[in-house]
Amino acid sequence: MVPLKDDNPIRITPYVTYGLIALNIVCFLIEASLGNGQLDPFLHQWAVVPEELSASFVLGPSAVSFNEWQTLITSQFLHGGILHLGGNMLYLWIFGNNLEEQMGRLRYLSFYLLCGILASLTQWFFAPLSTVPSLGASGAIAGVMGAYIFRYPTINILTLVPLGIFFFPLRIPAFIYLGIWFLQQSVYGFLSLGTPMNIGMESGGIAYWAHAGGFVFGALLGPLFGLFRDGSDRTPKP
């Protein structure tokens, strides 16, 4: 199922969501400009390498470059391909702008980055010795979706639903659409135990545990970041 839009209009200009989308696109263009000999070192420097991150936790920053911890943020702006990028940005646009309006820009940005960090750590927990760079905005966006389902459960999501070779538009309540999505990630995560999976990098690999973890952390952290605050102070869109 492919979401197209939600029936949840906003009254602000979602500058943070725009900025996150723009930054992801710029970072992908930088990746795309690199030759084969440059891309691998670039990803090892800016994406999460679970084995190196594990070493940094054991040995501390004095033995391992602090850059390994920074990759928990920088990896959120890297993608493994145009479809990876396009899918993530579509979900971010649909579900992120409403949270930005509800939480406020600074809280929303902090919430987004924290969910991304915790999602990466969830994936790392299940594959701590992997040497494959792990990257993508999926975990942070899963956190946005986890908060969205509790704040706007009955909002309809206009969705393309496949029936054979055809796709039909259908409006589905958020709690059903996102609930099915979370259930899929959790089931696939359990089925992938023991299989090397990283965010968009392993052949056929998808970070199901990062998705599921980001979703859960988003649901848990949302109230702390103003998910249910009074929206009367929100500035109307000009």
For residue 66, what pLDDT is reported? 57
Count of CB atoms situated within 10 Å of the CB of 113: 16
In percent, the amount of the chain with pLDDT more than 70 equals: 85
| Max CA pair span of the chain | 57
Run of H or E including 158: strand 156-163
Please determine, for residue 232, whether its predicted confidence score (pLDDT) is greater than 80: no
Of the candidates 203, 199, 19, 216, the one whose C-alpha atom is nearest the C-alpha of residue 108 is 19
For residue 68, what pLDDT is reported? 78
Q: Hey, what amino acid is at 113?
A: L
Of the candidates 191, 211, 217, 192, the one whose C-alpha atom is nearest the C-alpha of residue 202 is 192
- Look at 65 and 46; give whichever has higher pLDDT: 46
* pLDDT tens-digit map of 65-77: 557 788 999 999 9
For residue 194, what pLDDT is reported? 52
Asked whether the CA dihedral 180, 230, 92, 202 is positive or negative, the reply is: negative
The answer to which of 1-15, 28-42, 134-148 has the lowest mean pLDDT is 28-42
Domain ranges of the chain: 2-233
* pLDDT tens-digit map of 10-37: 999 999 999 999 999 999 999 999 987 8
| Cα distance between residue 134 and residue 192, in whole Å | 16
* pLDDT tens-digit map of 77-89: 999 889 989 999 9
* pLDDT tens-digit map of 143-189: 999 999 999 999 999 999 888 888 899 999 999 999 998 887 777 66
Which of the listed ranges 50-54, 213-217, 233-237 does the model predict with the highest average pLDDT?
213-217
Q: Give me the CATH topology for the region 2-233.
A: Rhomboid-like fold (1.20.1540)
| Cα distance between residue 220 and residue 202, in whole Å | 29
Please determine, for residue 202, whether its predicted confidence score (pLDDT) is greater than 50: no
pLDDT bracket for residue 229 (50, 70, 90):
confident
Using CA atoms, how far residue 33 sits from 37, 69, 89, in Å, is 12, 25, 20
